[in-house]
Each structure stands twice: as structure tokens, then as C-alpha cells.
Structure 1
Amino acid sequence: MARNLRSKMPRADPLFVLDISQATLDKFVEETGQDAASAGVEEGACQVQVAKNAREVAEKADIIITCLPTVKMVKDTFAPMIKEGSLPETLQSRFVDAPVSGGAVGAQAGKLSFMFGTDVDSEGLVDYLKSVLLLMGTKAWHMGGQGCGVSAKLANNYILAINNIAVSEALNMGREWGLDLHKLTELINSSRGHCWPVEVNNSVPGVVQGSPASKEYTPGCPVSMINKDLGLAMSGASDAKTPLLLAETAREAYNKVDGEYQGQDFSVVYQYLSRRSSA
């Protein structure tokens, strides 16, 4: 995300970055420098500055973008920004919830989709926010007031969580029935079963090159993360008194899969099923 952000930002604007991994920061600075050199940009024109801490980011940046997977990480990031002295001007303006969809593959390709929520109290605000988000992706939807971005993301990921299990079950059935899974995938992609977990994040190793399954289930989206979103969707549905017929079964399945394949991509559900089929 940040690499695409730097490449599309005005060259004179500095980009401040912060990550818990120093190795990741070093690699990012090196890669953005190479990108700038390849594009014929003058040395030092596309500035990337590594911040010492979150407070420094808040004090120096006009726009702060965070991409954090857990509530604890959000608290740990924002607490230092606001605990010392007066609140930085950046944090006195507005917060926009802007969850992202597209996974690691979409992030690298600059093809992420954003759904954001904020109250509109000034002309041009939505267009301005879209212009910022589209530096990292290709689509951005204003879903309503504050919190609506998160609600839209949870609705979308509820479908994804259920769909991923169904796809893994179907492909595992196909394998047990002796079907060629490359051909089955091609068929599904041309039929009404077509969906992202089949076409892009296919759970069978070797069927889709570059998918997590084809890289030993190296996560784009770890099992724990989709399980977290599923739990949040279930909690929100309960508060709204909205029934979810498949949620408990899916939750139980992901709890079991995460217990055996912690840290791996959520498409590893296929591996969980296939090993039980052969048992």
C-alpha cells in the first residue's frame, strides 16, 4: 500500500512511515528509492522519512493513514499520539473509518477497494477523501456516516468467510470424486459459482499461481483475521437482532482450523478438509 502511495503522491510531499518491523522499514526505503531512480526522479525528490514513533507521525503529517489488524494495535498506536502535551492538529480534525478489501495481492498491485464512513459537513469532502484513498487502490465507496465503512466491511467479509469454506468443501469434494481441479476451477469461474475464493484466492496449491495456497499458505489474510471479522459481524448482527443461519457453524470451523494452522492463510481450510477426507 505505502509503495503505491509514494509512487502516486506529489513528489515534493514527504511520506512519514512507521512499522513495528525495522527490517520492513529498511526494505521499504530501499525499494522506494529504487522506484524513484527507475522513474528518473531526482535524488531526494521523493522523500520517505522513517518516524521514531507514532507521536512524531502525528506532529509532522497532515494526513495519517493506519492499517492495523487488531484493536490492541490500534490502541497502542494512537495512545502515544495523544498522551503527551496538546493534541496534534492532525488529530483535531476528523477520523474516517476506511476498511480495505483486496488482500495482499491487491495491495501489491495497487488494486485495493476502500469503503469509508464519515459525516459530510463540507462540500467536496467525499471527493477529497476518495482522492487520498485512490492513491492506494482503484475503488472507494462512501457508505454513510462514521462507522458505516466498518459495517460495510463486516457485511462483505461475512460473505467471504462463508464463501471460503464452501469453496474449500466443493474443491475437496471434486478431488475426492477424481476431478481435475484446474478444469473444475475453470468451469466454476465461467459459471454461477464464480467468486473471489475460486478465481483469485483459490485454496488448492498450484491451481492459481501467486495465491497463498501456491506459496504454502503464506497469508494474505490469516485464519485469525477472517475469524475476528466473522466474530465482529456476529456481534453486530446480535445487537441488531438480525439472524445469521451459518455463522455459528463457520465460527466453529475457523476456530478448529486456526488451532491447527495458526498464522496461515484462511484458504488453508481446504488443507484441513483434505486431510480429514484421507483419514
Structure 2
Amino acid sequence: MKISFIGTGLMGFPMAKNLLQKKLNLKIFNRTLKKAKPLEEFGGEVKLSLGEVVKDTDFVFTMLTDDAAVEKVLGNSEFLKNLKPYSTVIDMSSIKPKIAIKYGKLLKKNNINFLDAPVSGGTIGAEEGSLAIMVGGDQKVYNSVIDLLKIMGNPTLVGKIGSGQISKLANQIIVGVTIGAVAEAITLCEKAGVDGNKFIKALSGGFADGKILHNHGKRMIKKDFSPKGKVSTHLKDMNNILECANDFNTQLPISNLIQSMFKSLVDNGNSDDDHSALYKEIENINKSK
């Protein structure tokens, strides 16, 4: 079984590393070579072009930044002409559902299987191999790749192509709104003189307990906004959420608010902060009062 992995950024690198640690035959490509080279020490075979990395490969994983990056790869003629007939492309990027559907149709015309399989869980989930993986596509194709997906996390087939991306957008609504709620809670505690760490401990086992409270809440308390999931990435997701909702003639008022807060952070130079920096935006709102 020959496998390729394209895109070794914050998420892709640990995901590819987990595959390599299972002693799998893995070819790797990344536009910025230095981000892929360290995977050689784990047995990865770094290639210099899209054509080389997908040639004679059974499964091709892509983990890319955004819609534009995915289109540059999946629509690339070198990529398309070198894909092995009846091989499977699994795009794990977070993109618009209509982009996933577009390339699912294009690849099918070329006798290539396709799954959209975006993930949630951040860099910690990628490192631990515990990502939530939301998959759209055919059951038989999914069955053929499920064991590989399980190395990276917990996959679930949620429907036809595009359904994975819809599920990821719904996931990002919950994540974004919850980060905002945690930011307000931590802010209120700090303003009232309540110890934030003790507050988080006090909520243990209650309805408000959870990963975002513990992970993002503690980052807010420490004022550590080094990126695990970037503000710019979550703004991209919020924009896609609102566009998708509009496609279905659906209003999402809370998502609109969270989108505007992430946009304000980007406009004020916080693009590369962790998305827990919603705390900063609430801080800025209070300063302007």
C-alpha cells in the first residue's frame, strides 16, 4: 500500500508523522520544502513535485490551508495526470462544501475516488492522533481508508461528498461560540477578582466543563496566544459558515457576531494569534467603553 501526504503545516506535519510511526510507505510533498524535510528522519520520502508525490500511489491525503490552496493542488494538471486510476484522494483541509463537491466530480471523471474529510481537535489532537474526522463520500471508498484515518483520529462517515465540510462548519460554529463564551466568563472572573484557574476547576463535571474551557481558558489566563488554531483560519471558517448558511437561506445571528469579532482581530493585526485571542477582542471592547 503506497500513500502520499501533501501539506505539512501545523496540522499536516503531526498527522503525517503518526502515519510514518506505523511504518507505512509514505511519500510527502510540501510547497515549502523545509517544513517537510524533518519527516525524513521518521522514514518519509520527501518529493519535489506534485507529479512525483502522487505517481503510483493508492491513497493521497491533502491537508492544506484554504480553498485557494486546495484548488491549486486538486486542479493542477501535473497532479491530475499522475494520479493512479482508481486511487483515492482524501482531502482533510477545511474548505467550502461546494469546492469539495466540485473536485469530487472532477476526480470521478478521471476514475479517481474522493472523500472530503476535514478534522477538528487542533494541533494537540493531530499530535495525539485523536482528531475528530468528519467524512463525506461513498461507503465503499470510506471502508477502504478507514484504518488509515483511525491512525490520525476518530473518523465518521456523515454523508455524501460535501457532508464532511458541512459538519466541519457546524463544528466551527460550536468552537467559535464556545471560545467567545469562555472569554467572557474569564473576563468577568478577572474583573470581579475571582481566580480564573480555580473557576475552571470549580466547573469540573458540570455542564460548562469541556476541552475549550480547559485549553483555551488557560491560554486566556496566561495571556499565551501562540497559535494552535489561528485567528485568520477561524475567520476563514466563519466566512465559509455564513456563505454556506446563505446558500440555504438560513440566518445564523450568533455566528455573525463571532465572525465580526474575529474580523476585528484580523483588522487589528492579530491574524497569527491563537483563536483564544477572542479574549483580546472582549478586552478591547471594554477598553473602548
Query: What TM-score, normalized to structure 1?
Result: 0.82
Q: Is the 8 A contact 2:220 2:277 kept in 1?
A: no
Q: Which structure 2 residues correspond to residues 111-122 of structure 1 after superposition, within 5 A?
A: 111-120=130-139, 122=140
SS of equivalent to 1:167: helix
Say if 1:84 and 1:69 are closer, same or farther in 2 by CA, change over 3 A: closer
SS of equivalent to 1:96: strand
| Cα distance in 2 between the residues matched to 1:56 and 1:25 | 15
Indicate the residue corresponding to 2:256 in structure 1.
248
| Residue of 105, 119, 128 corresponding to 2:144 | 128
| Cα distance in 2 between the residues matched to 1:63 and 1:244 | 37
| Cα distance in 2 between the residues matched to 1:238 and 1:75 | 22
| Residue of 156, 160, 169 corresponding to 2:171 | 156
Indicate the residue corresponding to 1:23 in structure 2.
34
| Cα distance in 1 between the residues matched to 2:80 and 2:250 | 42
Say if 1:182 and 1:56 are closer, same or farther in 2 by CA, change over 3 A: same
Q: Which amino acid aligns with 1:93?
A: I
Q: Which structure 2 residues correspond to residues 59-74 of structure 1 after superposition, within 5 A?
A: 59-74=55-70
Q: Is the 8 A contact 1:5 1:135 kept in 2?
A: yes
How large is the RMSD of aligned CA atoms in angstroms? 2.2
Indicate the residue corresponding to 2:75 in structure 1.
79
Indicate the residue corresponding to 1:217 in structure 2.
225
CA drift at 1:102: 0.6
Q: Which moved more, 1:167-176 or 1:242-251?
A: 242-251
Say if 1:2 and 1:241 are closer, same or farther in 2 by CA, change over 3 A: same
CA drift at 1:249: 1.5
Measured against aligned partners, the alpha-carbon deviations of 1:144-185 in whole angstroms (never above 9, x if no partner) come to 111111111111111111111111011111100100000111
CA drift at 1:87: 5.5
Measured against aligned partners, the alpha-carbon deviations of 1:207-245 in whole angstroms (never above 9, x if no partner) come to 6xxxxx5xx322121111111111111111122122212
Higher strand share: 2
Query: What TM-score, normalized to structure 2?
Result: 0.79
| Residue of 34, 48, 55 corresponding to 1:52 | 48
CA drift at 1:48: 1.8
| Residue of 126, 129, 141 corresponding to 2:156 | 141
Structure 2 residue runs without a partner (length 5+) = 1-14, 88-106
CA drift at 1:196: 2.6
Indicate the residue corresponding to 1:35 in structure 2.
none
| Cα distance in 2 between the residues matched to 1:167 and 1:101 | 18
Indicate the residue corresponding to 1:97 in structure 2.
116
| Cα distance in 1 between the residues matched to 2:125 and 2:77 | 29
Q: Is the 8 A contact 1:82 1:88 kept in 2?
A: no
